[in-house]
A = this chain, B = another copy of it.
Amino acid sequence: MAETTADEVPQLQERPKRIDARRNKQSLLDAAAAVFTKSGVDAPVREIAAKAGVGMGTIYRHFPTRSDLVVAVYRHQVEACAEAGPRLLRESDTPEAALRAWVALFVNFLVTKHGLASALHGDNAGSDALHAYFVDRLVPACEALLHAALAQSQNSSTINAYSVLKGIGNLCVGAATDPNYDADRLVQNLISGVLLQTSP
């Protein structure tokens, strides 16, 4: 639940944060995690601050933007997803199976976190921390899997891993709240189509 200890432990030439600051940051992370799972990622910042027993100023000092808080809350799961890529590639029967398993993992992650997929769009002039973090960590993982799967089927087409990843994320939008919408199936269909495509 805690963030990397990078900013909680004294760096060279830096004093440690005050203990109430560290305590509040942790309360905020816990409260945010709870509120996000209950009311979705779009829950008001005030609600999180209230649940953590903290003022508005405090939340914005620790997390300069709403997006940063979301990143901090889901950092571990995103990291786990990124690290699952190479592992699946090693342990699966075929590269395509590895890709499909990884994608299912990613989809499950997005769908169970209500509103995360919608929040992923880099609305704010491309400087959206959430979007940037997902891209940074997951595009390389996705790319490796895609290349391996394409090589397996001797498909020499060029793929844009970023594009595919964003497509998967987009397909997950609204999946949790719409019982008639089957994101899982569509994503697997999309993968089929991507692997099938001929080089341009």
A binding-site residues for B, Cβ under 8 Å: 118, 121-122, 160, 162-164, 166-167, 170-171, 173-174, 178, 180-183, 185-186, 188-194, 196-197
Contact = CB atoms under 8 A, between A and B. Distances in A.
A159 to B, nearest CB: 9
A182 B196 contact: no
Contact of A190 (B162, B174, B181, B190): B190
Q: Which 6 A-B pairs have the closest CB atoms?
A: A189-B193, A192-B193, A193-B193, A167-B186, A170-B170, A190-B190
Q: How many copies does the complex hold?
A: 2
A166 B162 contact: no
B186 A164 contact: yes
Contacts of A188: 193
B189 A163 contact: no
A125 B196 CA distance: 38
A97 to B, nearest CB: 16
A122 B183 CA distance: 16
B118 A174 contact: no
Contacts of A166: 174, 178, 181
A197 B189 contact: yes
Contacts of A122: 174, 178
A121 B182 contact: no
Contact of A163 (B118, B160, B181): B181
A170 to B, nearest CB: 5
B185 A163 contact: yes
A191 B196 CA distance: 11
Interface centre among A118, A167, A178, A183 (most CB of B within 10 A): A167
Contacts of A181: 162-163, 166-167
